[in-house]
Amino acid sequence: MATPRRRSPYLRMEWIDAETGAVGWLVVDSLVQGMATGGTRMRAGCTVDEVADLAYGMSNKTAAFDLPVGGAKGGIDFDPKDPRAVDVLTRFCDAMRPYLDRHWVTAEDLGVTQDLIDTVFARLGMAQSYHAAIARSDDPAATTARVMAGLHAHAPGGALGDVIGGFGVARAVLAAARATGRSPRETTVAVQGVGTMGGGTAFYLHQAGSRVVALADAAGTLYDPEGLDVPALLDTRNRFGEMDRDQVPASVQRLPREALLSTTCDVLVPAAVSYAITADNCAAIDAAIVVEAANAPTTIDAELDLTARGIAVVPDFIANAGAVAWAWWLLLGWVGDDYRDSFSLLDAQMTSKVTALVAGWRPSDGPIRWAADVSATVRNPEPLVVP
Please write the tens of the pLDDT for every residue from 181-221.
Answer: 999 999 999 999 999 999 999 999 999 999 999 999 999 99
CA of residue 15 relative to chain centroid, distance = 24
Q: How far apart are CA 309 and CA 303, in angstroms?
A: 10
pLDDT class of 51 with cuts at 50, 70, 90: very high
Q: Is the pTM of this model over 0.75?
A: yes
Q: Check: CB of residue 117 under 8 Å from CB of residue 107.
A: yes
Segment 222-278, tens digit of pLDDT = 999 999 999 999 999 998 889 999 999 999 999 999 999 999 999 999 999 889 999
Catalytically annotated residues: 73
- Portions of the chain given CATH number 3.40.50.720: 158-372
Dihedral angle sign, alpha carbons of residues 342, 348, 352, 354: positive
Cross-strand bridge partners of residue 269: 191
- Portions of the chain given CATH number 3.40.50.10860: 11-136
Closest CA to 77 of 52, 49, 124, 43: 43
Q: Does the 158-372 domain belong in CATH 3.40.50.720?
A: yes
Identify each DSSP E strand in 246-374 by its residue range. Answer: 253-255, 267-270, 289-291, 312-314
Stated length of the chain: 387
CATH number for the domain formed by residue range(s) 11-136 = 3.40.50.10860
> How crowded is residue 9: how many other Cβ atoms within 10 Å of its Cβ?
19
Segment 268-312, tens digit of pLDDT = 999 998 899 999 999 999 999 999 999 999 999 999 999 999 999
DSSP per-residue string spanning 329-364: HHHTTSS-S-HHHHHHHHHHHHHHHHHHHHHT--GG
